[in-house]
Chains A and B, each alone.
Chain A
Amino acid sequence: EVQLVQSGAEVKKPGESLRVSCQGSGYSFTSYWIHWVRQMPGKGLEWMGRIDPRDSYTNYSPSFQGHVTISLDMSISTAYLQWNSLEASDTAIYYCTIVGLNTGTHYDAFDIWGQGTMVTVSS
């Protein structure tokens, strides 16, 4: 079974660092870009950025560039989303998702999703 399993909920203070994870299984991890999507409380989905497991190439939405880092640990088929200094406005659910495993990469569709990681940043 194809799965993306994310790390558990986090509660942090402003200024703290954080890394959330997304482990893939049941498919060829190197074959599909991994994307991260934010959903703030009561709000819509926002694309943050993506990483190519073949070469670790990343690109980010201008809204998130410089505030988060996406990385990989290929040895454990895991992608990460990292903050060096959290802000209260980072409070959200974060989803990892991959494009094209079931739908074909031509269609750019997010067809497998992780369960989401709730991040709460509060003093």
Chain B
Amino acid sequence: SSDLTQDPAVSVALGQTGRITCQGNSLRKYSVSWYQQKPGQAPVIVMYGKNKRPSGIPDRISGSGSGNIASLTIAGAQAEDEADYYCASRDTSGNHWVFGGGTKLTVL
């Protein structure tokens, strides 16, 4: 089990908006980050500090959150957004890091 909980799968129609959520008590205290992983590739950071986008990440990807829930929103979803998405944060002790179980985003 993971200290961060994600829905296993989310589907979104091409060009529509999809949202992936991450829930955990540690999010009340520690920063969340999000990673995109495509088959056969290493993870890539797509969001950090709840709503900060690294260089090169399209602005159709945004982050938000409050309390113990963080969200990653993909507006105008494209075929290339189809991937596994993971959230991460420190655990409630602050001494370790944890990943959510991952969400498989399918663009229909």
Which A residues lie at the B interface, using CB under 8 A?
35, 37, 44-47, 50, 59, 61-62, 95, 97, 102-103, 106-111, 113-116
| A residues near B100, Cβ cutoff 8 Å | 44
What residues on A are CB-neighbors of B35 within 8 Å? 45, 110
Question: Nearest Cβ distance between residue A101 and chain B, in whole angstroms?
Answer: 11
B residues near A, CB below 8 A?
2, 30-31, 33, 35, 37, 42-45, 48-49, 52, 54-55, 84, 86, 88-90, 95-102
A-B contact pairs, 10 of them (CB 8 A): A37-B99, A44-B101, A46-B99, A95-B42, A106-B31, A107-B31, A109-B45, A110-B45, A111-B54, A114-B42
Which chain B residues border A103 with CB–CB below 8 Å?
A: 33, 45, 48-49, 52, 54
Contact A59 B96 (CB under 8 A): yes
Contact (Cβ within 8 A) A111 B43: no
CA distance A45 to B35 in the complex (A): 10
Establish whether residues B88 and A110, one from each chain, have CB atoms under 8 Å apart when the complex forms: yes
Report the Cα distance A59→B31, complex, angstroms.
19
Query: Across chains A and B, which 9 residue pairs bring their CB atoms closest together, nearest first?
Result: A109-B48, A109-B33, A44-B102, A47-B97, A45-B99, A113-B42, A107-B49, A107-B31, A107-B48
Q: Decide if B48 touches A44 in the complex (CB within 8 Å).
A: no
User: What residues on B are CB-neighbors of A108 within 8 Å?
Assistant: 30-31, 33, 89-90, 97
**Which residues does chain B contribute within 8 Å of A59, judged by CB atoms?**
95-96
**Do A61 and B52 have beta carbons less than 8 Å apart?**
no
- Chain A residues, Cβ within 8 Å of B97: 35, 47, 50, 108
Residue of A nearest to B2 (CB): A44
Q: Report B-chain residues with C-beta under 8 Å of the C-beta of A102.
A: 54-55
Question: A95-B43, A102-B55 are contacts. A109–B49 as well, Cβ < 8 Å?
Answer: yes
